[in-house]
Chain A
């Protein structure tokens, strides 16, 4: 997939709109899910997808390394989501629609609520590493910081989660 992405990026940079559209098609599900995990509803997540598309299209030429397109795109989305969540005065209702998993629904809500309260950067690390299965190198690229910093943040995030969830964790 990476090779294909790089090829499409080159074409899109030359002004090929179909290539850009194809790139967005490849990434839309991932972007939407990440947006949803922050914004918790369809309308706002669609708005995030639209705004990310807009920003990516507009600044594609500034992307130097085509292979980094995926992480670059996620970074744009996360910046948007961080702004949106910071802007909101009302806390967001923390639920994830989905089938029941190993842990009870109640626990999931708690964990979600706690993740939502994390410092934005720590939260990003958690979402990317655990939900999106990005490698530490990729997370570092999204967040534009050294891998060592990502490790530190991840550690801090887990510590913070554990302390907030209580002793039983």
Chain B
């Protein structure tokens, strides 16, 4: 028998198995989460970046609406390779100023595998934050240029640096060419310092994992860090927290906050912190670490190091908080409703039982138009009326919906289906749309 036909017959049988791949009940949720992510990014182009994330990998899309000043353009033109990277700096005034002040360290190291060339063009780096600018060149045969992602950074012994790594896919306008420029933003945990040499690991389209080693010239930023002990206590609606210190680096400003453990309320997050100089120019935060019951938080802002402000203030208005005695949410599976919650903003829309699990659809309503937090409301663990402890199953998520009249979010919670639960179930609240809204201002400099 003809070998190829024989193989085709085998494929026929194989296809049958393929058609029987069990479908997941969560497909619709993930379609919605994908749409939501796209819409959120589109919104981010217009809104200020108000990230509030634990140490995790963030994705972001670079914002191309950059105002190019003449000195910036001339600074960049002196480093020809980096000229096209102007756009990648986006709307971060700290990075723009860093380039203007010739703070960029050219690297120019490349690797070629299977016709794909990966080049680290240069870095903007200080003790705590590094932006790596890279170029990926694909061979002619590629329909679409290869891009890099899944970054990691290690020291020479292979130890992963404690850092939050953010990167985005290159802009759509770059998808046509064979050469793609992009950047990855690496933020070390406050207090950690980059070693003299690092290894950047990147997953590159169609060619697997790459590693490229390059040096960091520490003399370029030696003694530039400015640590300011603040120790200003702020009290808002009877809740106290202390702005412990601010550390000003060339490309970031880290503000450390200590929450008073004797507060009657749990502070989940500071919503809209900004740094303002004497001329009213604002810097937004791009990252925050610590949440929930953590008493220490660090918020990272863009930097104005090079413009040397005379005065600098930390301002904020909305603090997400809840009375510590209200941190419990009880719900009934059989009645499909919330039995106990701090406010009526959270309700159960439906409870469905499938073969493998329980799906709880929760609505979060009455959100302010500035509030796009993506509420989890409850954590991973819960217990039933009999006192037995359980964990939710994976696959849950929060869907954020925006409309002109009212903003709301939908939270999906999945519970293992093989269990019998004694109603009601009790969860601990991890975040909640209740705010102490009162402006505050602390002098940093």
- Given the known interface contacts A98-B17, A103-B10, the answer about A52 and B206 at a Cβ–Cβ threshold of 8 Å is no
Question: B31 contacts the other chain (Cβ, under 8 Å)?
Answer: yes
20 example contacts (A-B, Cβ-Cβ < 8 A) are as follows: A17-B35, A24-B31, A33-B18, A50-B30, A50-B33, A50-B37, A52-B34, A54-B34, A54-B35, A62-B172, A82-B206, A87-B150, A87-B208, A97-B22, A101-B17, A103-B13, A126-B11, A130-B12, A130-B15, A143-B143
Min CB–CB distance B83 → chain A (angstroms)? 25
Measured CB to CB, the nearest residue on chain B to A89 is B209
Min CB–CB distance A116 → chain B (angstroms)? 13
Min CB–CB distance A159 → chain B (angstroms)? 9
**Interface residues in A1-56 (C-beta closer than 8 Å to B):** 17, 20-21, 24-25, 28-29, 32-33, 36-37, 42-43, 45-47, 49-56
User: Are A86's CB and B203's CB within 8 A?
Assistant: yes
Min CB–CB distance B322 → chain A (angstroms)? 30
**Interface residues in B234-270 (C-beta closer than 8 Å to A):** none
Question: A66 contacts the other chain (Cβ, under 8 Å)?
Answer: no
User: Are A46's CB and B17's CB within 8 A?
Assistant: no
User: Are B34's CB and A57's CB within 8 A?
Assistant: yes
Question: A92 contacts the other chain (Cβ, under 8 Å)?
Answer: no
Extra contacts besides A32-B21, A96-B21 (20): CB < 8 Å: A17-B35, A25-B31, A37-B21, A42-B24, A49-B30, A49-B34, A53-B34, A53-B35, A57-B34, A59-B175, A79-B205, A86-B205, A103-B14, A108-B13, A108-B17, A131-B11, A143-B143, A144-B144, A158-B3, A169-B7
Residue among B6, B14, B169 making CB contact with A131, cutoff 8 Å: B14
Question: B26 contacts the other chain (Cβ, under 8 Å)?
Answer: yes
When chains A and B are docked, how far (Å) is the Cα of A24 from the Cα of B10? Answer: 31
Residue among B3, B11, B21, B32 having the largest count of chain A Cβ atoms under 10 Å? B21
User: Are A53's CB and B30's CB within 8 A?
Assistant: yes
Min CB–CB distance B251 → chain A (angstroms)? 28
Q: When each residue 37-53 of chain B gets 1 if its CB lies under 8 Å from chain A and 0 otherwise, what string results? A: 11101100000000000
List of A residues within 8 angstroms of B4 by Cβ: 158, 162
Secondary structure class of chain B's binding surface, majority of residues: helix
Residues of A within 8 A of B (CB): 17, 20-21, 24-25, 28-29, 32-33, 36-37, 42-43, 45-47, 49-59, 62, 79, 82-83, 86-87, 89, 96-99, 101-103, 107-108, 111-112, 120, 126, 130-131, 133, 143-145, 158, 161-162, 169
**Interface residues in B89-108 (C-beta closer than 8 Å to A):** none
When chains A and B are docked, how far (Å) is the Cα of A86 from the Cα of B394? Answer: 25
Residue among B35, B149, B209, B395 having the largest count of chain A Cβ atoms under 10 Å? B35
- Given the known interface contacts A62-B172, A98-B17, A101-B13, the answer about A51 and B34 at a Cβ–Cβ threshold of 8 Å is yes
Secondary structure class of chain A's binding surface, majority of residues: helix
- Given the known interface contacts A54-B35, A130-B8, A158-B4, the answer about A36 and B21 at a Cβ–Cβ threshold of 8 Å is yes
